[in-house]
A and B are shown apart, each in its own frame.
Chain A
Amino acid sequence: MKYDRYKKAMDNVCDKNFTLTAAEMLEKAKASSDTERNITMNNKGKRNMIARIIGAAAACSVLSVTAVSAMGYGPLSGSFRKFFGKDEVTADIIDQGHYCEIDEVLSDSIFTVDLDSVTGDKSSPKLIFDVTVNDEKLAAENDRLMLSAYILDEYRYANELDNYSMWEAYGEKDPDTSNVYHICMDGPSAFMINGADAVVAVRKISFDSDTVNQKFTYDVDMEYRIHVPEEALKDTFAECYSGITLHSGNVDYDLCYAEYGSYDSMFQFTFDFLGTELAGGETDFYEAEYKFDDDWHRFADSFVLTVDGTEYTVKEKGYAGCNADDGRCSTWLTFPAVNYDSAESITFTAGNETFTLK
């Protein structure tokens, strides 16, 4: 983006909208001067000031299939399929009994948010919310809304929030209740498996249309603390590899790990960038990361995962990150989900090389 064009455009916005003269600002400052003193400049301090009592994490019940069927999202009621009809994978997982009821409800003046349950698998957990919008007009003009939430462990939520972004998901309106919306949100497996206690902090609810209030995005402050038993999420199969190296011609990528889940098959690779021609003498990876991402993405176009004769191309290509301590970089990609357990043969083809994984 050109510096001068953005700068000029933003200066125009400033000049048009912030029109207080210096003299006027001075008058206001003088009038308010008794209330503002000694500003604390430590940005990091704010992260520790979570004014919430940390109570016991909400217990999450792992239910048998029979019990699940009695719940709102269980297989007999078919509610999950009714509200999230396109997501057969999650519906099947619920049918298999991998479902953890939470049913914790928080409200403010406009919204009631029920964190209903957790489901999914250990690489792609899902959180199901029901949101009631108490503003009838706002609900009337929106068939969907978007929920935004932080999902982290307690330490990172309190101390490292700036390093993480919110998870977002759209939810559709209930066909029978005009102000209720159902959301199925992806969650981070890193903070939701292995018996983790997680903080789910719903911070924003957004709408496409808001003709009455003209707000569009509403700030909310709803924190849920949950404990997800490991067995509540469907197992994935993880495999570590060594001795499998893919050669792009510029970089050697070592396959180190794969996780075969219900939603996708994720492969992680590591590589060195120092000393490669692509790095061109650069020692700071992030000054050259464009080149490595381009190399990886171009190379990944040639990858094929073959499972019992069925070929799959890459579903999503990741971006690289580097460990400052050892200079070793990692990247990833996903293929569509495959059934590792039942597969008799799995191979990975990269360019002209084929590697046997099973």
Chain B
Amino acid sequence: MTDEKFLCAYEKFRNTVYSVIFSYVRNADDASELSQDTFIKLYTYEGGFDSDDHMKAWLIRVAVNGCNDHFRKRRHVSDSPIPEDLPSGEEHELDEIIAEVMKLPEKYRIPIHLFYYEEYSVSEISDILGISESTVKTRLRRGREKLKKALRKEDWL
């Protein structure tokens, strides 16, 4: 990949990569390190991409794989529901939403993140996570049910 393409891709997808990794590891430092690893893999990837959407999906899958490898290596991961370094000046409603989503079990948290942050369809989430569409639907539904109980009415669509 050329340097110019890499710089564009980084600017375009840095939040995509960081946010999905953060949803997995829930720790800012680990998320930052794993995000860098993901972009390093992008830089050295010798295949091509049909489109930006193709690249984005590739990045997310690499990020997810990286998180799974991270857990398997038995590195300690902070499991605080609210990361220590979440800015203290944030408005209350922003803290609450992130905190409640991050409290969800991983199997609900990740589809919820992909659905609400990346606005992926069920089918696309199924491809990214390698699980069936019915499983994605069930996990989205149950994640929403848990959030519905925790979030204030005005935060719920």
Interchain CB contact under 8 A, A165 and B10: no
* Partner pick for A28 among B36, B78, B157, CB 8 A cutoff: B36
Residues of A with C-beta under 8 A to B151: 1
Given A29-B6, A29-B44, A37-B46, verify A16-B87 contact (CB < 8 Å): yes
Given A2-B155, A214-B84, verify A14-B77 contact (CB < 8 Å): no
Q: Among residues 34 to 56 in chain B, which have CB atoms less than 8 Å away from a CB atom of chain A?
A: 35-36, 39-46
In the complex, A162 has a CB within 8 A of chain B: yes
Residues of A with C-beta under 8 A to B80: 214, 216
Q: Which residue of B lies closest to A8 (CB)?
A: B94
Q: Which residue of A lies closest to B113 (CB)?
A: A10
Nearest-neighbour CB distance to chain B for A94, whole angstroms, equals 31
Q: Which of A19-27, A236-244, A337-345 makes up part of the contact surface?
A: A19-27
Nearest-neighbour CB distance to chain A for B109, whole angstroms, equals 12
* Partner pick for B86 among A6, A13, A29, CB 8 A cutoff: A13
Given A215-B77, A289-B141, verify A26-B131 contact (CB < 8 Å): no
Q: How many residues of B contact A (CB 8 A)?
A: 74
Residues of A with C-beta under 8 A to B28: 13, 17
In the complex, A32 has a CB within 8 A of chain B: yes
Nearest-neighbour CB distance to chain B for A210, whole angstroms, equals 8
Interchain CB contact under 8 A, B130 and A44: yes
Interchain CB contact under 8 A, A108 and B94: no
> Do most interface residues of chain A lie in helix, strand or loop, or is the interface mixed?
helix
Interchain CB contact under 8 A, A12 and B18: no
In the complex, A213 has a CB within 8 A of chain B: yes
Interchain CB contact under 8 A, A43 and B3: no
Q: How many residues of A contact B (CB 8 A)?
A: 56
Interchain CB contact under 8 A, B7 and A23: yes
Q: Among residues 77 to 121 in chain B, which have CB atoms less than 8 Å away from a CB atom of chain A?
A: 77-80, 83-87, 90, 93-95, 97-98, 101, 105, 107, 112-113, 116-117, 119
A44 to B90, CA, bound (A): 39
A37 to B87, CA, bound (A): 37
Q: Which of A69-77, A85-93, A218-226, A252-260 makes up part of the contact surface?
A: A218-226
Q: Which residue of A lies closest to B129 (CB)?
A: A162
9 contacts between A and B (CB under 8 A): A14-B19, A22-B7, A22-B10, A25-B14, A33-B40, A43-B130, A216-B78, A217-B77, A219-B71
Residues of A within 8 A of B (CB): 1-3, 5-18, 20, 22-23, 25-26, 28-30, 32-33, 36-39, 41, 43-44, 46, 108, 162-163, 165, 203, 206, 213-221, 286, 289-290, 321-322, 324
With A289-B137, A321-B138 known, 9 other A-B pairs at CB within 8 A are A1-B101, A6-B97, A12-B94, A17-B31, A33-B40, A44-B130, A108-B74, A219-B74, A289-B141
Residues of B within 8 A of A (CB): 3, 6-7, 10-11, 14-15, 18-19, 22, 28, 31-32, 35-36, 39-46, 58, 61-62, 64-65, 68, 71-80, 83-87, 90, 93-95, 97-98, 101, 105, 107, 112-113, 116-117, 119, 129-135, 137-138, 141, 144, 147, 151, 155-157
